[in-house]
Amino acid sequence: MFLFVLLCCVGVVHCYGNGLVSSVCGTMTPKHGSNSAQTSAAPFTVTADKTTFKEGDQITVLLKSQSGDQFEGFMLQARQVGSTTSIGTFSVMESNTQLLYCDAASRAVSHTSDSKKSSVQAKWTAPTSGPLGDIEFRATFVKSAATFWVGVKSSTVAYTGTSAPAAETVQSNPDCGKTKVCFSQPSNCDPTANTGCYFMAVQTSSNQSEMRIEMFGQADGYVAIGFSDDQEMGNDDIYICGKDSSGNLEVQHAISTGKTAPTILSLGNVTDIKTSLMNGNTINCSFTSRNAISMRSRATSTSEYYLMIAAGPSNGQGNIQIHTNKYVSSTKANLQDPSQVVTSAEEFPAIVKAHGCLMLISWMTTGSIGMLIARYLKGVAKDHGCCGKDFWFMAHVSLMALSVTATAIAFILVFSYAQDWSGGAHPVLGCLVMILSLIQPIVAAFRCEPNDERRFVFNWAHSFIALAIKGLAVAAIFTGLALFEEYEEDPWMLKVMGGFVTWEALIYVLQDLNLRAKKKGIKLF
C-alpha cells in the first residue's frame, strides 16, 4: 500500500515532465498537487535582446539561472502589458525546447523533458498586423515539484510601430453623450479631474462587433465593469482590471456567478490593452473587445444592458475579493445610442430608508425622551396620573413601547428586503439592539414592588440594559449612516449626527449634575 501511494504521488508531481502544458496557458501555474508558487524573488531571469520592436520584428529571449540554480521545466509567453493573452509566435532554437498552442499555434515555448537546465533560448516574432502595444515576456520556472516561480517578467519591450498607443488610457468625458455611452458615480464625474470618480465608457461599432471600453476607479485590488440583463449580480458579462500577484495591472474576462467569486474566462479577442496604476490604488484601464456580450455564458443579440461598476480588494495571488463599492445604472443603456443619459440606480431603496428613519425616531427621539423622563422628571406632577400610575411613568412606558415597536418594524423591514446577512458591524449592532429591546420590557414586567428589599437588583439591571441599548443604537446609527455616506461626496449626515449626540450627552451630564446638587440642597438651575 505504501509503494502504491508513493507511485501515485510521483505520477502527480511529474505528470508534466514532457512539457505539454497547454492546459495552463492562462495562469502559467503548474499543477503540482497542493504545492503553490514561491513568493520570493526567482533565482532566474528573462531577458530580451531588444528594448523596442515594431510589426514583424524578431526578438531573442534568454531564460537563465542567476546563481547556479538549475530548472527542470519552464513555460515562456509574450503578452501585452496588462494582458492575460499571449501574442506573437515563437520558434525554437534548442533541441530541448518545444512549441505550444496557447490561444493560437506557437504562442508559447516549454521544455521537452525534466533534465536540469541552466539556460534556454527562443526566438519571438511580432505580429505583422492588428493593434499592438508594449509587451513583456513572462516565464514560469520549475526547480522541483514543490519549488517553482510563476510570472517572472522581462523588462518591458516598447512598441514603436505606426499605431503605437497613446500614453493616456482613460479619456476625459467630453466624449460622453457624443461617441460614448458613459456611466459614473458620482453622476457626470470626470475621471481626469476627480480621483474619487468611478467611471466606465463604451464606444461601439455600428453592428456592435467591436467595443472600446474604459474603466477608472479607486481600489486596493481591482475595478470591474459589467453588462447585465437585470440590476442584480449574477450571470453578467464582466471585465476586471486588477492587480496580479506581482502588483501589476491585468485585464480579465469573466462571468459573474452572483454572491460567489466570478468565473474567469479566456480573455478572448481583446486587444490594444492600456493600463495605468497611480498612487497604488487609482486603477485605470482601456481596451478593445471583439467578444460578444454573453449572459449565462451565451451570446445575446440585444444592445441594451444595465451597466455595473464594482471595486474592491484582491489577495496576494491576485484573486479578487468581495467588492466594497458597487454601482448599477437605473435603467438599461443602449450601447449604440451615446446621446442617452445613464444615471446610477438608487443605492438605498425606500424600504431601507424607512428602516433608517424608524431607528432614528426610536433611539434619538422617543427613546431619548423616555429615558430623560424616567431619570430626571419623576418629581413632576407627582401623585397625579391615570389608573393609579404617575404621569411620568405613563409617559415613559408609552414612549419606550413606541421605541421598541418602531425598532421591531425597522428590523423586519430591512431583513425582508435583504433576505440575507450582509456582514459588517451594522447588522450585528442592530441585532443586539433588537434583542435587548425585547428583553427590557420582559424584565420590567417581572419587577418586584418599589419597597421590596431586592428592588435594587431590578433598578440596576433596568438601567444597565437601557444604557447598553442606547450605546449600541447610537453605534448602529453611525455605522448605518456611514453606509449611506459612501455614495455622497460630502458626509454631512455623520457630522450632523455627531453634533446631535454630543448635544444629547451634554444634556444628560447637566441634568445629572443638577440632580446630584438637588439631593445636596444646592440649586443649580
Average pLDDT, the chain: 83
The grid coordinates of residue 174 equal: 467630453
Residue 465 burial (CB < 10 Å; 0-12/13-18/19+)? middle
For residue 254, give the nearest of 25, 84, 88 by alpha carbon.
Answer: 84
Prediction pTM value: 0.44
Cβ 60 vs Cβ 48: under 8 Å = yes
In degrees and rounded to multiples of 5, residue 462 shows phi and psi of -60, -45
Of the pLDDT bands very low, low, confident and very high (cuts 50, 70, 90), residue 380 is: confident
Residue 188, pLDDT score: 79
- pLDDT tens profile 261-284: 888 998 889 998 998 888 788 899
- pLDDT tens profile 193-237: 766 789 999 999 877 789 999 999 989 999 999 999 887 778 889
Of the pLDDT bands very low, low, confident and very high (cuts 50, 70, 90), residue 301 is: low
Cβ 215 vs Cβ 308: under 8 Å = no
Residue 15, pLDDT score: 46
One-letter-per-residue 3-state SS of 8-49: HHHHHHCCCCCCCCHHHCCCCCCCCCCCCCCCCCCCEEEEEC
In sequence order, the 6+-apart residues with CB closer than 8 A to the CB of 393 are 385
Q: Output the CA–CA distances (angstroms, integers) from residue 193 to 166, 188, 190, 196, in the order listed.
A: 19, 11, 5, 9
The grid coordinates of residue 297 equal: 455564458
The grid coordinates of residue 31 equal: 499543477
Largest CA distance in the chain: 106
The grid coordinates of residue 102 equal: 496557447
Distance of CA 507 to the CA centre of its chain: 42
For residue 235, give the nearest of 314, 300, 281 by alpha carbon.
Answer: 300
Of the pLDDT bands very low, low, confident and very high (cuts 50, 70, 90), residue 10 is: very low
Q: What is the average pLDDT across 493-515?
A: 88
